[in-house]
Amino acid sequence: MTRSATARLQGVWLPLVTPFRDGELDEHSLRRLVRHYATQPVEGLILAATTGEGLTLDGNETERLVSITAETLGSRLPLLLGMSGSNTRKLGAALDETSSWPINGYLIACPYYTRPSQDGLFQHFSTLARDSDKPIVIYNIPYRTGVNMSNDTLLRLASLPRIIGIKDCCAEPGQTFDLLRVRPQGFAVLTGDDAQFYSALAHGADGGILASAHVETGLFARVYNAMLDGNFHRALTLWRELVDLTRLLFAEPSPGPIKHWLWRAGLLDSPEVRLPMTEISAALAARIDGAIACRTSMAA
C-alpha cells in the first residue's frame, strides 16, 4: 500500500478487538474473529490500536497477534498495525523491529501527554516517515492525546510520500470540512468518530475506521456504498438504523461494550478486557443483551 495505491484506504475499516481469556491472548477466538470479518464488507483491519487495547500488549503478544491474523487472512485484506507513544526514537526503533512483519502499514497516533508544538508534531511524523519502509496513516485524536494537529501541519505531512492518510477524530467539524476541501489528491481522510460517519461521508470523507462496525458490519458498508453512489436519501435512511447502535456501543469505555456483544454473539469466548479497562456494568450488559435479542427476533 503506497500513496499511488490508496484506493483501498476507503470504505469501512475495522479496528479489531484483541481477545483475552484468563489474562492471556485468546488465539482461538482471534482466529474465529478474523475468519468472520474476512467474509464481511470491510476494506482492511487495524490491529493493536485503541480498540485493540494495544497499550496493554507486550511485544511478543503484538507479534503473535499480527502473525495469527495474517496467517488466517492470507492476502484477503490489508493490515495496519496501531502504534503510539511520545518518544520519537523509540517509535522509530519499533518501526524497524516490525518492518519484516506481515503488515501493510501503520496507524500512528499523535504523541500523547507531552503536548508538543505543531512543529514538534511535524518533526515527529516526518522522522517516522523517513525511517519507515511502509506507509503511515496519522491518527489525530486530541481528546485522548491532549494535542490537536492543525490542518497546516497535516498538509505539510501529506506532501511526504509515506504519509497516505489520516484517521480523523479532531471533534471539530469545521476543521474536518476545511481539510476535505484542501487535501491533496490521493491523501485519504477516514473518520474515526463512529457517530459522525454519515456526516463525514456527506462532507467528502473516504470512509471510516469504525469500532462499531464489529456489529452490523454490512449495514455500515451499505451506508458507505449508498453515499458513493450519490444516493444520499438511501444512505440517511440506513444510517438512522445505526445511530442508536453507535451510542450503545460507546455508552461505557470502549471496547468493553463491543466485547460483550461479540461474546454474546459467540465470536469471543470471553468479554475480558485488561486494566485499566474494566468489563461493562450490569445495566449496560442488560441493554446490550436486549438489543441483541431484538435484532435476532427481527432477523428471524
Catalytic residues: 139, 167
Q: Which three cell numbers stand for residue 255?
A: 471496547
Residue 252 has φ and ψ, to the nearest 5°, of -135, 165
The sign of the torsion formed by the CA atoms of 146, 196, 194, 66 equals: negative
Strand partners of residue 163: 136
* Strand duo 44-47 + 163-168: pairing: unpaired
CA separation for the pair 267, 127 (Å, rounded): 39
Buried b (16+ CB within 10 A) or exposed e, 216-233: bbebbbbbbbbbeeeeee
CA separation for the pair 129, 254 (Å, rounded): 29
CA separation for the pair 1, 20 (Å, rounded): 30
C-alpha atoms less than 13 angstroms from C-alpha of 300 in its C-beta half-sphere: 6
Nearest to 139 by CA among 179, 163, 108: 108
- Distances 143 to 39, 139, 239 between C-alpha atoms, Å: 33, 12, 25
Helices (H), the chain: 27-38, 59-73, 88-97, 118-131, 142-145, 151-158, 173-182, 197-202, 217-228, 232-240, 243-249, 256-264, 282-299
